Structure 1
């Protein structure tokens, strides 16, 4: 199969994570679907799709860990705000990087998909 470059689809894949703000889980489902269907067709979709999914799963875990912290120490609310901020800002930053031809990276991601 011939692979081609499609920065627009890569940008859309990064920005689709923002669906979490509207749907709650769409920010994981849409990038997963795009990665699974396009990883063999679009250059860099495989590596960037894995980065996105690792970031999404990591944010979910961090959010879950904040819940007991809210009950025990009250710090969980601050943690959830930080997780929410990271989940909002990094997809935008990385979409801009992809549109400029740069390689995106999501900090604090736990590697689940290699």
Structure 2
């Protein structure tokens, strides 16, 4: 291709065509040289994405967080619903994360067993309310659920395996 004479404006290519040089290559083609290379490999020679999409183990900080959620979700549920729905938080944590961390599975199972035991205590307290003593036992159970839930959450924050006292182990 010859150069245009001096003083004449450069010709524009027809609409939809690329200029012969200095422009973008057509869609799907790589620039001849000096273009952007594909994404660099990650450091350490790892694959950019995991090859299998199975359950990935939890990091220790995530284990602590979910164990605390399992233990403290129950007292919050006890405050909101007078103890009836306190078992939902540990149940959800146990069902969702039991295959990703043995520690979280154990702590959620422990909190769930404790909440089921408390639920039985609440039912007995309701029956005993006809004899007035049920009001005292229900209050004692409510206070016990909050105190032991906080103690369990503090132990979970230290990444310790906590066992609730006076608990019937329904789920083992």
Same topology, TM > 0.5? yes
Superposed displacement of residue 7, structure 1: 0.8
Using the alignment, how far apart are the partners of 1:81 and 1:20 within structure 2? Answer: 11
More helix by share: 1
Using the alignment, how far apart are the partners of 2:98 and 2:139 within structure 1? Answer: 32
How is 1:61-76 mapped onto 2 (pairs within 5 angstroms)? 61-72=120-131, 74-76=132-134
**What is the RMSD of the two structures over their aligned residues, measured on CA atoms?**
1.6
Provide the residue aligned with 1:8 in structure 2: 65
Provide the residue aligned with 2:165 in structure 1: 107
After TM superposition, the runs of 4+ consecutive aligned structure 1 residues lying more than 3 A away are 23-26
Q: Are 1:3 and 1:42, in contact at CA under 8 Å, matched by a contact in 2?
A: yes
Using the alignment, how far apart are the partners of 1:26 and 1:49 within structure 2? Answer: 15
SS in 2 for 1:44: helix
Q: Which has the larger radius of gyration?
A: 2
Equivalent of residue 45 in structure 1, options 92, 96, 104: 104
Q: Are 1:3 and 1:43, in contact at CA under 8 Å, matched by a contact in 2?
A: no
Question: Any unmatched runs of 5+ in structure 1?
Answer: none
Give the alignment's TM-score, normalised by structure 1.
Answer: 0.88
Give the alignment's TM-score, normalised by structure 2.
Answer: 0.60
Question: Any unmatched runs of 5+ in structure 2?
Answer: 1-54
Superposed displacement of residue 86, structure 1: 0.9
**RCO higher in 1 or 2 (8 Å CA, sep ≥ 6)?**
1
